[in-house]
Chains A and B, each alone.
Chain A
Amino acid sequence: MARIDGAGLGLVFENFKFSHGTDQPDANGEQARIFRISGIKSTDGRDVDITVNHLYISGTGSNYGENLSPVNLGRLANPWEIDVVDGNTIGVPDKAVLQFSAPSQVAAAEGYDCFGASASAGTGTCSSRPATADYIGERADVGIQMNVAVGDDRSANINIHAKSAVIDGSYLRLWGDNNRHQMVGQFKLNFYSPEVSINACAQDGSSCGSRIILSNFALELALGNELQPMLFDVDGSGNFVVEIAAIRQPASGEIGADGLRSSSNAETWDFYNSYYTNPDYRSNLSIGNFSVADRDFGSARVQGMLIQHLNIQTKDLAQ
């Protein structure tokens, strides 16, 4: 009994397919399906309404959501997980941490390339496998087609599609902070896709603009870490607040004037050194190639972004 480890709950979606959207109104103006997000107001007080024409999760090869097929999400050996983790193992001392996680990343010797449509074992760190001739794989095509109306002005349809997407290594951790008596968290989002595309089409779908293609798209976003968790709150006027507090300042004299370890308090120096060098605290974005129609703009990369302070607050414009 003493050897029993806190077992989590593994989740695997088998042959999964999801699709919802909004239909064109028929002759009587009735719509069979509606999927609408509203309640947002523009700065001049007009209602903003986002109509989702199509939202889908499908197997690879869906041709931008035209041919939906089933896909597996998560592996039996490395599933989606809901777990209560011992905080001492992840740098949150003496806390039980609630964790929702996607399949974890694995050693490059066992994993699959996160972009490759025909990657074989031992080519990368993603655990989810691409589709093959006789297996549907664990990478999904996801996409959304929507249009935005501000008052009576309705935009063209905006389409965003990601092919063969993987989010391995993503997680959300939540726990309570004793001093602030508040819920705090840490969110890591990894998103890899060989092709993310964006384009706009006319309302009736008759004509479309050029497709913007971001190939080999990789986003590794780290919001909050064990030293600077994300803080969630609602303030006195009923607005939602997300904050990442700044890291504490060293006391005077703790770090020497020349910034070297030998002239500083060794423990403090090591703390800041590990804070600034830990790659887990940093966010990265890389795009293999950025192209619009037949024009290539080459690759783009933002690397090692460290969020030192963040404060997001909703504001009611009606007030």
Chain B
Amino acid sequence: MIRHPGTAKYGLALAMLIALPSPVRAELASLGDQALSDVSGQGGIYLSGDVSINEMGGPVENSHFGRCDDATRKCGARFAWRLKETGGWMVLDDIRGNFSFEGLTLRVRHVDSGFGGDGELFNRDVLELGLPNTVRFNDVRFKIAASNTARPTDPGFLQTDIFSVEMRGEVVMEGNLLVFPTGNP
């Protein structure tokens, strides 16, 4: 076992913390049936995520797709859709990279105040998506393109890459997204 010189000091500090009287400590008490019936399922979800898309290369290996370290092959995912029955395809191509976030929250919230006076009039429940403050992108890339065939391995394949985007580092994304039905339900 490796001993760090500071271990004993931490142990002492911890013991002192436990010994200190805590003003907020309260005893647990059982809830009566009546009180319990007023308790509704509360809380929400706290999410942390680390999503990788084709970071090393996808599962398909053929004349077009391959490992990312092979310069003659594409390694990102491809998503193609058509805007006209017999027309060409819009493509989101070469999607790869990794992004991670800490603290995306999801809960139901009752809004009845704030929002410059709008909250009081609104007085309803909303679904609140708490944004994670920062999202860390690690070499996230994608390309917007237009192509005449859905798959790059189809005969006669032609593609025009319109532009590509590359993102790395921490993106600041603060706030809450509130989602609710509109109209007259």
Contact = CB atoms under 8 A, between A and B. Distances in A.
Contacts of A129: 116
A207 interface: no
A316 B169 CA distance: 31
A91 interface: no
Contact of A23 (B82, B86, B121, B169): B169
A182 B83 CA distance: 6
A234 B87 contact: yes
Interface in B86-113: 86-90, 111
Contacts of B82: 234
A295 interface: no
Given A8-B181, A15-B174, A234-B148, A181 B161 contact: no
Interface in A19-76: 19-20, 23, 31-40, 68, 70, 72, 75-76
Contact of A314 (B87, B122, B160, B174): B160
A9 B169 CA distance: 32
A124 interface: no
A36 B148 CA distance: 27
Interface stretch (A215-223, A237-245, A251-259): A237-245
Contact of B87 (A18, A20, A36, A233): A233
Interface stretch (A77-85, A195-203, A269-277): A77-85
Contacts of A234: 82-84, 87-90, 146-148
A13 B177 contact: yes
Contact of A8 (B126, B160, B161, B183): B183
A238 B183 contact: no
B118 to A, nearest CB: 4
Nearest to A10: B182
Given A34-B168, A76-B118, A316 B160 contact: yes
A143 interface: no
Interface residues of B, number: 51
A7 B185 CA distance: 6
Nearest to A23: B169
Interface string B150-185: 000000001111111111111111111111111111
A38 B164 contact: yes
A14 interface: yes
A83 B180 CA distance: 12
Given A17-B172, A19-B171, A238 B121 contact: no
B10 interface: no
Given A7-B183, A13-B176, A183-B84, A39 B162 contact: yes
B143 interface: yes
Contacts of A240: 90, 146, 160, 162
B85 interface: yes
A240 B126 CA distance: 39
Nearest to A38: B164
B49 interface: no
A181 B85 contact: yes
Given A35-B166, A35-B169, A234-B84, 17 more contacts: A9-B180, A18-B171, A20-B171, A33-B168, A36-B166, A36-B167, A37-B163, A39-B163, A76-B115, A76-B122, A180-B84, A234-B87, A235-B87, A236-B148, A238-B160, A314-B146, A314-B162
27 contacts: A7-B182, A8-B182, A9-B179, A10-B178, A13-B175, A13-B177, A14-B176, A31-B169, A35-B166, A37-B164, A37-B165, A38-B164, A39-B162, A68-B172, A81-B182, A129-B116, A183-B83, A233-B87, A234-B83, A234-B89, A234-B148, A235-B88, A237-B160, A240-B146, A240-B162, A314-B146, A314-B160
Q: Top 10 nearest A-B pairs by Cβ distance?
A: A234-B88, A33-B169, A181-B85, A16-B175, A39-B164, A7-B183, A19-B172, A34-B168, A182-B84, A10-B182
Interface of B: 82-90, 111, 115-116, 118-119, 121-122, 126, 131, 143, 145-148, 158-185
Interface of A: 3-20, 23, 31-40, 68, 70, 72, 75-77, 79, 81, 83, 129, 132, 135, 137, 180-183, 232-240, 314-316
